[in-house]
Amino acid sequence: NAGVTQTPKFQVLKTGQSMTLQCAQDMNHEYMSWYRQDPGMGLRLIHYSVGAGITDQGEVPNGYNVSRSTTEDFPLRLLSAAPSQTSVYFCASSYLSAGTEAFFGQGTRLTVV
Protein backbone atom coordinates (compact mmCIF):
# COMPACT_ATOMS: atom_id res chain seq x y z
CA ASN A 1 0.00 0.00 0.00
CA ALA A 2 2.12 2.90 -1.29
CA GLY A 3 -0.24 5.84 -0.52
CA VAL A 4 1.23 9.10 -1.86
CA THR A 5 4.67 8.86 -3.43
CA GLN A 6 6.81 11.90 -4.15
CA THR A 7 10.05 11.99 -6.08
CA PRO A 8 12.75 13.14 -5.71
CA LYS A 9 13.28 13.49 -1.95
CA PHE A 10 16.04 16.07 -2.37
CA GLN A 11 17.00 18.36 -5.23
CA VAL A 12 19.43 21.23 -5.78
CA LEU A 13 18.79 23.52 -8.74
CA LYS A 14 20.57 26.49 -10.17
CA THR A 15 18.63 29.70 -10.66
CA GLY A 16 16.80 29.58 -13.98
CA GLN A 17 16.69 25.81 -14.29
CA SER A 18 13.41 23.99 -14.66
CA MET A 19 12.32 20.72 -13.10
CA THR A 20 9.29 18.58 -12.34
CA LEU A 21 8.36 17.23 -8.94
CA GLN A 22 6.48 13.98 -9.28
CA CYS A 23 3.49 12.91 -7.21
CA ALA A 24 1.51 9.68 -7.54
CA GLN A 25 -1.25 8.16 -5.43
CA ASP A 26 -2.79 4.71 -5.55
CA MET A 27 -5.97 5.35 -3.54
CA ASN A 28 -8.17 6.52 -6.43
CA HIS A 29 -8.55 9.94 -4.80
CA GLU A 30 -10.17 12.64 -6.89
CA TYR A 31 -8.58 15.57 -5.05
CA MET A 32 -4.85 16.23 -5.20
CA SER A 33 -2.88 19.25 -4.11
CA TRP A 34 0.61 20.71 -3.75
CA TYR A 35 1.81 22.70 -0.74
CA ARG A 36 5.03 24.40 0.13
CA GLN A 37 6.25 24.52 3.72
CA ASP A 38 8.42 27.39 4.90
CA PRO A 39 9.55 28.12 8.48
CA GLY A 40 6.93 30.05 10.43
CA MET A 41 4.45 30.04 7.56
CA GLY A 42 2.86 26.61 7.81
CA LEU A 43 1.75 24.96 4.60
CA ARG A 44 0.56 27.13 1.75
CA LEU A 45 -1.46 25.79 -1.15
CA ILE A 46 0.19 26.13 -4.57
CA HIS A 47 -2.20 24.34 -6.94
CA TYR A 48 -4.91 21.75 -6.63
CA SER A 49 -6.99 19.43 -8.80
CA VAL A 50 -10.47 17.99 -8.33
CA GLY A 51 -10.07 15.37 -11.05
CA ALA A 52 -8.31 14.47 -14.26
CA GLY A 53 -8.14 17.46 -16.58
CA ILE A 54 -9.19 19.97 -13.90
CA THR A 55 -6.70 22.14 -12.02
CA ASP A 56 -6.88 25.45 -10.22
CA GLN A 57 -4.61 27.90 -8.43
CA GLY A 58 -4.10 28.05 -4.72
CA GLU A 59 -2.64 30.75 -2.53
CA VAL A 60 0.89 30.91 -4.03
CA PRO A 61 0.77 29.71 -7.66
CA ASN A 62 3.29 32.05 -9.31
CA GLY A 63 6.27 30.27 -10.86
CA TYR A 64 4.59 26.86 -10.78
CA ASN A 65 2.61 24.86 -13.30
CA VAL A 66 0.54 21.69 -12.92
CA SER A 67 -1.41 19.27 -15.04
CA ARG A 68 -3.58 16.24 -14.26
CA SER A 69 -3.79 13.83 -17.14
CA THR A 70 -4.65 10.81 -14.97
CA THR A 71 -6.32 10.30 -11.59
CA GLU A 72 -3.07 8.92 -10.15
CA ASP A 73 -0.50 11.56 -11.12
CA PHE A 74 -0.18 15.26 -10.34
CA PRO A 75 3.24 16.66 -11.28
CA LEU A 76 4.40 20.12 -10.25
CA ARG A 77 6.63 22.02 -12.66
CA LEU A 78 9.00 24.81 -11.77
CA LEU A 79 9.38 26.80 -14.96
CA SER A 80 12.46 28.90 -14.07
CA ALA A 81 13.68 28.25 -10.53
CA ALA A 82 14.36 31.16 -8.21
CA PRO A 83 15.98 31.21 -4.73
CA SER A 84 12.57 32.17 -3.31
CA GLN A 85 11.34 28.72 -4.31
CA THR A 86 13.72 27.05 -1.89
CA SER A 87 11.28 25.14 0.31
CA VAL A 88 9.90 21.75 1.23
CA TYR A 89 7.12 20.65 -1.09
CA PHE A 90 4.33 18.28 -0.13
CA CYS A 91 1.80 16.56 -2.31
CA ALA A 92 -1.49 15.43 -0.76
CA SER A 93 -4.55 13.53 -1.91
CA SER A 94 -8.04 12.88 -0.57
CA TYR A 95 -11.55 12.00 -1.61
CA LEU A 96 -13.52 14.90 -2.99
CA SER A 97 -15.73 15.71 -0.03
CA ALA A 98 -15.30 18.03 2.89
CA GLY A 99 -14.11 16.47 6.09
CA THR A 100 -12.16 13.58 4.58
CA GLU A 101 -8.59 12.84 5.62
CA ALA A 102 -5.79 14.11 3.41
CA PHE A 103 -2.83 11.79 2.87
CA PHE A 104 0.58 13.38 2.41
CA GLY A 105 3.73 12.35 0.66
CA GLN A 106 7.10 12.41 2.41
CA GLY A 107 8.06 15.72 0.86
CA THR A 108 10.69 17.06 -1.53
CA ARG A 109 13.36 19.35 -0.12
CA LEU A 110 14.31 21.77 -2.89
CA THR A 111 17.22 24.18 -2.75
CA VAL A 112 17.70 26.80 -5.46
CA VAL A 113 21.16 28.35 -5.57
Partner 1 sequence: AQSVTQLDSQVPVFEEAPVELRCNYSSSVSVYLFWYVQYPNQGLQLLLKYLSGSTLVKGINGFEAEFNKSQTSFHLRKPSVHISDTAEYFCASTGTASKLTFGTGTRLQVTL
Summarize as ranges the residues that interact with partner 1 (CB under 8 A). Answer: 4, 31, 33, 35, 40-45, 48, 50, 58, 90, 92, 94-102, 104-107
Measured from the CB atom, the residue of 17 and 88 that comes closer to partner 1 is 88
CB-CB contact of 77 with 18 (8 Å): yes
Alpha-carbon torsion 22, 28, 29, 30, what sign? Answer: positive
Nearest distance, CB of residue 15 and partner 1, angstroms: 26
Measured from the CB atom, the residue of 10 and 14 that comes closer to partner 1 is 10
Measured from the CB atom, the residue of 96 and 113 that comes closer to partner 1 is 96
Expressed in angstroms, the distance from the first to the final Cα of the chain is 36
DSSP state of 76: E
